[in-house]
């Protein structure tokens, strides 16, 4: 029996998911996407429990999010997700969020992979039993410009954090959605009030764990575009991000 090639979940925006303007935070956006993707993976037979039995788990590699309008406190939205045909080791997935009238608010395109919990290595798609599904070719966001300009000046961090247990997910490392908070903590309230957020992308490069110190640096690349880098313990890059303001 074929699995459903798309899943739609409904959410009501809670106060704790919003920012100082009661608009949905980027981290909460990623949380909605992650939860919907997780539910669809379960339906497809590639959920957390199934993969864990074989010593595997999902990781988000890259994501790009376009924002037409951020939903606000108490808004009801629906999030649709659908996977694309996987290649050798990458699983691509789209997301689209709509308001109660059907207007598209958010679009996203993401890349995922499956890791071996013992070795930490990427598991080829050929090693995983793939679901029988009619894959959808159309992307929610047409995006391929994955390269992010380097932050050249790293004299003083724009934001720093020492990782503790509240940042963790069930894989015992920092939850993917937390990095969105770290990225946007590089900007002041005044900066975020001044410019409308158009889009953001995050590349997940390394995992972070309890007691790691993360320093984040941002650089204005011009035309409302900023690069952000996260450095672990003064040595290793953990994430790279790009933020577009109108």
Q: What is the pLDDT of residue 132?
A: 85
Instruction: Point out the least confidently predicted range of 45-49, 62-66, 240-244.
Output: 45-49
Number of residues assigned to the chain: 246
Q: Are 214 and 182 in contact (CB under 8 A)?
A: yes
Residue 1 reports pLDDT greater than 70: no
- Location of structure tokens 């880098």: 229
- Count of other CB atoms within 10 angstroms of residue 111: 18
Summarize pLDDT for 34-59 with one digit per residue, the tens. 999 999 999 999 998 899 998 999 99
Summarize pLDDT for 70-79 with one digit per residue, the tens. 999 999 999 9
Helix (H) or strand (E) holding 216: strand 213-222
Q: What is the largest CA-CA distance in the chain?
A: 57
For residues 140 and 120, give the distance between their C-alpha atoms in angstroms, rounded to a whole number. Answer: 30
């Amino acid at each position: 029996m074929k699995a459903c090639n798309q899943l739609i979940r409904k959410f009501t925006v809670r106060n704790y998911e919003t920012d100082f303007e009661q608009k949905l935070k980027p981290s909460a956006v990623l949380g909605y996407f992650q939860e919907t993707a997780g539910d669809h993976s379960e339906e497809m037979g590639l959920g957390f429990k199934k993969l864990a039995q074989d010593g595997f788990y999902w990781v988000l590699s890259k994501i790009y999010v376009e924002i037409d309008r951020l939903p606000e406190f108490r808004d009801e939205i629906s999030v649709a997700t659908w996977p694309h045909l996987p290649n050798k080791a990458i699983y691509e997935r789209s997301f689209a969020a709509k308001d109660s009238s059907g207007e598209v608010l958010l679009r996203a395109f993401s890349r995922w992979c499956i890791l071996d919990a013992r070795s930490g290595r990427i598991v080829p798609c050929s090693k995983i039993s793939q679901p029988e599904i009619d894959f959808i070719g159309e992307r929610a966001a047409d995006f391929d410009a994955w390269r992010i300009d380097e932050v050249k000046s790293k004299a003083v961090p724009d934001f720093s954090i020492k990782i503790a247990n509240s940042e963790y997910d069930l894989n015992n490392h920092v939850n993917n959605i937390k990095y969105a908070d770290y990225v946007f903590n590089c900007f002041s309230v005044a900066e975020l009030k001044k410019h409308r957020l158009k889009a953001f992308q995050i590349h997940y490069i390394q995992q972070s764990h309890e007691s790691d110190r993360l320093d984040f640096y941002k650089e204005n690349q011009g035309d409302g575009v900023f690069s952000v880098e996260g450095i672990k313990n003064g040595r290793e890059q953990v994430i790279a991000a790009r933020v577009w303001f109108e």
